Amino acid sequence: MPAGQALLHTSRRADADAALLTAPDVAPFTWRRLLRALRDPDLEVLEVAEPLWLGEWRRALRYIVLAKAMRVVRRRPVAIATYAIENFDARQRLRRRSARFALGVSLLTLDAVVFGTTGAYENYRRAFAWSLRRARHTVRGGCHGKGSPALCAFMLLDGGALALPEPQGLLAWRTCINAFERIER
């Protein structure tokens, strides 16, 4: 776990890294722990569950609202990011247009998206392109979207804290670092 980082998980998978779970900055999610992380003046990124992980995304929206409200108190923005790997067609998963529209609107709360595969990127682009225009995004191995090629550089800043949906979510952090290192070379 990088220094200055915290990992708050809402669930545990059987294949989670046991060593990661015993790290001092890894703990089950509680509202108190999230508030403590959001009050940290060094917090720069809050990573939340993938939007197409619908059960967790509903929960994540509450964390996002709290983080955005805390921006006023902190007087310093916290970037809201997610790691997306869903390849199952979002249009089939969310058959009703109203459900796709609601999820699309909720994607406007994101500042950055790291896509684990080009398939996941294409899936989100087909279903939600209009709502991803504002978010910086990258696909493992390269960057897409607004701005310079260093789109995910802000995720590498020291002293931040992360709140991830589960211990396996640390893969998103490693993926962003690897993608950024390939871009910089």
Separation between Cα atoms, residue 87 and residue 48, nearest integer Å: 18
Q: Could you tell me the pLDDT band of residue 110, with boundaries at 50, 70 and 90?
A: very high
Tokens of 70: 């805390």
CA distance 87 to 136: 20
Q: What is the mean pLDDT of residues 37-59?
A: 86
Quick one: which of 135, 158, 139, 168 has its CA closest to 64? 135
Maximum mean pLDDT: which of 3-7, 22-26, 98-102, 159-163: 98-102
**Dihedral Cα 143, 147, 149, 151, nearest 10 deg:** -60
| pTM of the entire predicted model | 0.71
**Which of 135, 39, 159 shows the shortest CA–CA distance to 82?**
135
**Pairing state between β 79-84 and 45-48:** parallel
Question: Residue 114 pairs with which residues in a beta bridge?
Answer: 83, 138
For the stretch 97-108, pLDDT in tens is 999 999 999 999
- Mark out the alpha helices in 22-108 (DSSP H runs): 31-39, 54-74, 90-93, 97-107
Mean pLDDT of 98-126: 91
